[in-house]
Every structure is written in structure tokens, then in C-alpha cells.
Amino acid sequence: MAQPGIGGAAPASGIRLLVSDVDGTLVRPDKQISSATIAAIRALRGAGVAFTLVSSRPPRGMRTLVRMLELDTPTAAFNGGAIVDADGHVIESHPLSSSNARVALDLFARAPVETWVFADDQWLLRDPHGPYVPLERHTLGFDGTLVTSFEPYLDRIGKIVAASADAAGLVRLEQELNPRIAPDAHASRSQVYYLDVNHARANKGDAVAALARHLGIPLAETAVIGDGDNDVPMFERAGFSIAMGQASAQVRARATVTTAGNADDGLAAAVHRFILPGT
């Protein structure tokens, strides 16, 4: 499918912080970071612009990226459910309530989906042979922990995931679940094949606000970049927003500008076109 070219409003000026989504944005489709993207991030820091990450991944699944990019800023995991300092310590946390976790798990148990729970810095699963387990293992860089029940973890769950190739089925699950867990929790798709359930404050809009606050940078001087539906809340909070080229038309319409897709180093292109010219 052809992707939109780079385009949109005039380059941002006065940007002091760029917050990037990870999967579909920072990393290429093979989950690797290109040399062009690494160079662009270094150029940002050389120009005095801070850079950090927000992701649906758990904190443990972001540590390799933090080391590779030599980040000294806080990052946001679980869509903002955990704000983690550069040393890996959680400085803010918003776990699901036990009651909302149970509602989501009961619903997913009756649906044809893989169900995963993230708690105690572990990826917990009951089926190690699920179709999406190899992809998640490759993405996170560590193995899941096999459990017979999620019950012992109900009071400390950072995220629940339903994984399925049936994208329309996940949409229906999202629509059924959200009224039952509102207003304290929320379900949204981090990928077309993943439905994430998080605390209501674990959203990328609040995450960007928290990251900017910890760094002492106003949201008006913060730019964000992402590709998914769960990135739109941060588009709505930041002073400048960039959608990846492979994002849906609905996501692209909510951003200030559009860059190339992640297969074509869209983050690097956005840094050079929209951020660095204004520094």
C-alpha cells in the first residue's frame, strides 16, 4: 500500500523535547533501529533537544533501547502506566484495579484471543505456543513466564493484552469492555492485532505531560511522533505532532504533519525536516 509523503504545516520552532512512540515509529518493521534514526537522535541532543520514549511495552522491554540510545531522560512504559527514570527505577505507577483486571480477564477468557498479563516485571502467559508469542518475544527481548492462573497477580497488573489476527473482533471487544471498566481503566489497540487494557491514567497524553513535567519543559515546546490510535492522545497534548506515513488516515488527520513510514526511516526524516530547522 502506498504511503503518504512527508508534508504538513511549517517546521516547528522552539521545540525542546521530542517524545517518540516505539513500535511502528522508532523501530523498523523488523524491530531494529536504523543507523539513520540513531544519527538523527544524536543530532537532536547535539542541538539541545531532549529525546525520550513512550510505549505500550513494559519497562523491561524498553531497557535495551534506553541503553542503545544512551538516554538519560525518563521514559514511559505501559502507555504511561509506569514512568521510569534513566536508571530503570519506576518513579510513577498506575496499575489496574483488581476489579477492572478481573472484568477484562473474564471477558477475554470467553473470546478467541491470546491473553497476556504484565506484572512484577514479567510477561505472564498461559499458552506458550500462542500465534503471537514469537513476535512478542522478539519485540520485548525476553521470554514469557508460564502460569496456570492470573489470579495471584490481580492487585498489581500494569497491563493486560488480548492478541488476535481478527482485527474486527478486537474492535468489538474494545467496544464491549470500555463501558464496563470506565472511568478508571481503558482499552485501546496498540497494534491492529493487540488490544491493551491499562489504568485510565496510563495513556500517552498523560504520559507526555508527565515526561515534560519531569524534564521541566512546557508542553507547548514538546513535539511527539507516533503511528497508532493510542498515539492520538499525545497528539492532542503536545505543541507539535507528527504522524508516521503508514498510520491510518484517521491518525494522520489528528497530527500537525506527516512524515515517511517507519520502513523508510520516517522518524529521522521528521527530525531533519521539522525539528532541527527550528532549533
In this predicted model, what pLDDT tens digit does every residue of 110-136 receive, in sequence order?
Answer: 999 999 999 999 999 999 999 999 999
CA distance 185 to 178: 8
Start-end of CATH 3.40.50.1000 domains in the chain: 11-93+203-278
Residue 218 Cα distances to 151, 222, 254, angstroms? 41, 7, 21
Start-end of CATH 3.30.1240.10 domains in the chain: 98-199
Q: Is the pLDDT of residue 1 over 60?
A: no
Q: At 191, give phi and psi (nearest 5°).
A: -140, 165
Query: What's the predicted TM-score (pTM) here?
Result: 0.88
At the topology level of CATH, where does 11-93+203-278 sit?
A: Rossmann fold (3.40.50)
Q: What is the pLDDT of residues 4-30, one digit of tens each?
A: 667 776 666 799 999 999 999 999 999
Confidence of residue 2 (pLDDT cuts 50, 70, 90): very low
Q: Is the pLDDT of residue 210 over 60?
A: yes
Question: Which helix (H) or strand (E) is 54 found in, with range?
Answer: none
CA distance 226 to 130: 28
Other beta carbons less than 10 A from residue 203's beta carbon? 23
CA distance 209 to 132: 32
Torsion angle, CA of 27/90/81/43, rounded to 10 degrees?
-30
Q: Which residues have C-beta within 8 Å of that of residue 72, sequence separation ≥ 6?
A: 86
Its CATH architecture, for the domain 98-199, is 2-Layer Sandwich (3.30)
Angle at which helices 167-181 and 98-109 pack, to 10 degrees?
150
Q: Is the pLDDT of residue 3 over 60?
A: no
